[in-house]
Homo-oligomer: A and B are copies of this chain.
Amino acid sequence: MKTDLSLEKTPAQPAAPFASIFRQIIQRPETSIVILLLLLGAVLSQSSSAFLTPSNLFNILRNNADIAIAALGVTLVIVAGGIDLSVGSTMAFSGLVAAIAVSLGGTTAYQLPSFGLPPLIAFALGVLAGALVGLINGLLVVKLKVVPFIATLGMLGVVRGLVVGLTSGQTVRNFPVEFTNLGQGFLGPVPIPVVFLVVLALLVGLFLAYHVWGTYIYAIGGNETSATLTGLPVSRVKILTYVLCGALAGVGGVLVVARLGVSAPTQALGYELYVIAAAVIGGVSLSGGRGTVFGAVLGAILIGVLNNALVLLRVESYWQQAFTGGIILLSALIDRLRQRRS
């Protein structure tokens, strides 16, 4: 009996380079989200001339740079096989630390301390505070062997509680303009938070792709037992991912404070789910070992474009969450289709 030729649907002959590149592209998980973004962009620019203006696009990026930056960190943790639910709280905490450090003192009757430190030092302190939260997360997970979900859920509460408790629920404000500039200013035509995002995304992306520890992170997330038995410094790498995640959430948190000009105890409340969603929509696998920073940033941008679209498309505000949820599902479904294709 001869082999039925019709079985060979995809010929094994050397494919044309174009086809091969095409296949590589369609195999990348980031592709689905790019498709979705293009679709959304097409609809939006069709129905509103406001969408495709540089100022609108930059605004979207500026407004979502913090989520995107936090998503970079969460990507590291998730790729290494963990999870961090405390990012929202960490953002608020870092923001508060920077705010207290930089604030010139308020005008209200009950006052929090304020130190009027130079903006960059305040920025560094905020990021440091985030890294500290990350370090505690890491130690809980690695040294005390608490499940990441529970460890970081606990820290979500503790850190948010700290923010509310330290401030007695008050806001911190009155910052020098050099500080608020970090959130509100421009570098040329580009909003400064976007500059931060681009630089950090490049750094983290290069770290994952080219640094020894980046490869370790993928290996640990791929199979922690094997990584341990291969002699990799598993504990240290895992702690590092949490520390970096905390620090990056810290950067995001400080940038929000600088952008809004105020640190409120409710800041970034519940953002953990959005940050994680950004990463996962962008193709980061929750079971570890897979995903890129590029995808996570795209995921965050998608969420941002969505918020923008709500207003541009005149979606009633009451339906916004349904809309966002729907797009998350849609992105998952497009991803399924893509996987079938390839």
Contact = CB atoms under 8 A, between A and B. Distances in A.
A320 B164 CA distance: 9
A146 interface: yes
A322 interface: yes
B333 A157 contact: no
A176 interface: no
Contact of A165 (B147, B169, B319): B319
Interface in A99-154: 140, 144-147, 149-151, 153-154
A165 B324 CA distance: 13
Given A160-B321, A318-B168, A147 B328 contact: no
A54 interface: no
Contacts of A333: 144, 146
Number of copies: 2
A60 B57 CA distance: 50
A154 B327 CA distance: 8
A336 to B, nearest CB: 6
A251 interface: no
Interface stretch (A44-52, A224-232, A253-261, A273-281): A273-281
Chain A interface SS verdict (over half): helix
Interface string A305-328: 000000000001011111111101
A156 interface: yes
B146 A322 contact: no
Contacts of A40: none
A61 interface: no
A275 to B, nearest CB: 12
Contacts of A321: 157-158, 160-161, 164
Given A151-B329, A164-B319, 5 more contacts: A147-B332, A149-B280, A149-B286, A154-B329, A165-B319
Interface of A: 85, 140, 144-147, 149-151, 153-162, 164-165, 167-169, 270, 273, 276-277, 280-281, 286, 316, 318-326, 328-329, 332-333, 336
15 contacts: A140-B332, A146-B336, A149-B280, A149-B286, A150-B280, A150-B281, A150-B329, A151-B332, A154-B325, A157-B321, A157-B322, A159-B322, A161-B318, A161-B321, A161-B325
